[in-house]
A = this chain, B = another copy of it.
């Protein structure tokens, strides 16, 4: 499995994205292809040894709560330790923070080995994302005490947004944060508050994997009237450690009032503890007051903005998770199809029942299901790495390039999250299908990939939320600047593609599709009524995503055709095949999706409730 993944990553990173050129930048000057490869090698090995063999274990030995502590299988501890010891938690950080100043695109590529081997045994992305948010919005002391101890592996991090009554609708959270007495503002760890409320769907919300857990919590500071401010403007962000610490990062021995109320029992992704947490309910009274102790991060009322830094990272990571589950299923079903004997090919010889059976991969329909998976999953991987490269560009490019990279990333983020979560799930279903009856038994891994992947259209912002973000905000903000930038970027690919006879027709097809999306965007907003424009936001996002993926494949194909002879002939044939597949089988699907957007179809929105 990892052989294929490694060669795919090598191609995408070096031949396609030219990640090697990043070493010319000051931040990455100590790096080289060799140091990048060493990171990839290490991650590949840890994933193979500590993650892959235990993927089914963490599915069947779900986290248990004994009333005091969360019980996890030993393999989860071992995987966590190996990961933390590798230094990957801080790989992209500054040297001063203990990091290795690795480009984010290389970190992402390296991280894909873990996601492919076992998506749910580790939840390290939350720790990194948490620490990154503190780096950006926290005080130097908060950075040093909390972020640094997450990056070095001592502590883990969470993000606590949702509540039982407020999932997608964060403006409705009711967790309260009240100033913790006299002098609350002078605490060296930050203005000190007491938090009370319940948080739902908190991944890794409690466990014994690390000495401490740093919760980043959204809560509302009541106004002078004691009431919570409605809407997102009332939301602030707090660091709430499970165990209190001093300014040196030592545990003070005091347990904070953060109590595990229960574990969610899930369809998939079972290795990662998912919790309902009670803040300040009194189970662990602390320092003689009521409420969990938390330290304000950033300014009051700007909590959601601060947290979005973390959420955008998390969304791209979810896209990568979905992608790697898709690839894992592809590899598993490819292996199976290459060995399992069943039936005979259609046509000549197919009717000679005395001929030996052939392998599954010799059937056209099995090849179709394999190529669809390859096209979905490797395409999604290309998109995710492309987005990761934009992060690097936004951090290290010149001012204009950085601004453009950030804008493009804004537009692409909902696609990077939503598209893999929908189509790599479909890939997993095809992986099951190739296995026949064996596919739906728990003796083969593919059913678990499919279950694990089903969470990705929901967590970190549902499909509906992503679609509203895309059509309601990203393509219209700044007068449509993001959409125009995307179009110009795609047109650069079209110009390259038109120079290859094999790709010219696809360039024409994509140009038309891009125009169709642009026109549909206009038509959706023609009446200026958000209710009409957004009624079909999800079909819009599906079409938009397919256009983005077609662009990815066309750009990849340009690199294949432009490359020197060092590329594997077979791998190049596979990439060209996946490109053809996407343009022949997938891109034509946008017509049906865009039709309802263009007409602002009100069939669904207009149907009376009692008609359902």
Binding site for B on A (CB under 8 A): 162, 165-169, 171-172, 200-201, 230-233, 264-268, 334, 338, 341-348, 350, 353-354, 357, 361, 363-368, 370-371, 374, 429, 432-433, 436-437, 439-443, 447, 450-451, 454-455, 457-459, 462-464, 467-468, 472, 529-531, 534-539, 570-571, 573-574, 577, 580-581, 584-586, 588-589, 591-592, 595-596, 601, 603-605, 607-612
Contact = CB atoms under 8 A, between A and B. Distances in A.
Nearest to A334: B612
Contacts of A165: 341, 357
Given A231-B354, A264-B441, A437-B162, A535 B604 contact: no
Nearest to A608: B573
A44 B73 CA distance: 45
A120 to B, nearest CB: 12
Q: Which of A168, A353, A437, A531 has the most CB of B within 10 A?
A: A437
A169 B357 contact: yes
Nearest to A472: B346
Contacts of A200: 437
Nearest to A435: B458
A472 B233 CA distance: 62
A557 to B, nearest CB: 13
A202 B605 CA distance: 46
A366 B462 CA distance: 12
Contact of A595 (B357, B536, B588): B588
Contacts of A353: 171-172, 230-233
A245 B325 CA distance: 52
A342 B168 contact: yes
Contacts of A531: 345-348, 364
Contacts of A595: 584, 588
Contact of A433 (B458, B537, B539): B458
A113 to B, nearest CB: 20
A216 to B, nearest CB: 19
B371 A265 contact: no
A511 B168 CA distance: 43
A586 B172 CA distance: 36
A371 B440 contact: no
| Identical chains in the assembly | 2
A458 B361 CA distance: 17
A442 B436 CA distance: 26
Contacts of A574: 607, 611-612
A447 B166 CA distance: 21
Contacts of A357: 165, 169, 172
A271 to B, nearest CB: 14
Nearest 10 interchain pairs by C-beta: A231-B353, A347-B531, A574-B611, A364-B605, A588-B592, A169-B343, A230-B354, A368-B604, A573-B611, A364-B535
B464 A363 contact: yes
B538 A368 contact: yes
A603 B589 contact: no
Contacts of A364: 531, 534-536, 604-605
Contacts of A580: 603
20 contacts: A169-B343, A230-B354, A233-B353, A266-B441, A267-B432, A347-B530, A363-B464, A364-B535, A364-B605, A365-B535, A429-B454, A436-B462, A437-B458, A440-B454, A573-B608, A573-B610, A577-B607, A584-B603, A586-B592, A591-B591
Given A530-B350, A580-B603, A604-B371, A267 B609 contact: no
Contacts of A585: 539, 592, 596, 601, 603
A31 B162 CA distance: 57
B530 A346 contact: yes
A457 B166 CA distance: 36
B457 A433 contact: yes
Contact of A343 (B168, B268, B342): B168
A439 B595 CA distance: 30
A528 B468 CA distance: 49
Contacts of A450: 267, 454
A445 to B, nearest CB: 12
Nearest to A587: B592
A265 B443 contact: yes
A264 B371 CA distance: 29
Given A344-B169, A346-B534, A464-B363, A266 B589 contact: no
Nearest to A347: B531
A242 B12 CA distance: 59
Nearest to A368: B604
Given A432-B454, A458-B433, A609-B361, A371 B584 contact: no
A466 B167 CA distance: 41
Contact of A365 (B334, B374, B538): B538
B472 A458 contact: no
Nearest to A361: B609
A595 B509 CA distance: 14
Contacts of A432: 267, 454, 458
A576 to B, nearest CB: 8
A123 to B, nearest CB: 16
B455 A433 contact: no
B603 A371 contact: yes
A607 B366 CA distance: 12
Contacts of A570: 608, 610-611
Q: Which of A169, A346, A357, A366 has the most CB of B within 10 A?
A: A346
Contact of A577 (B584, B596, B611): B611
A233 B429 CA distance: 34
A357 B231 CA distance: 11
B433 A612 contact: no
A95 B440 CA distance: 41
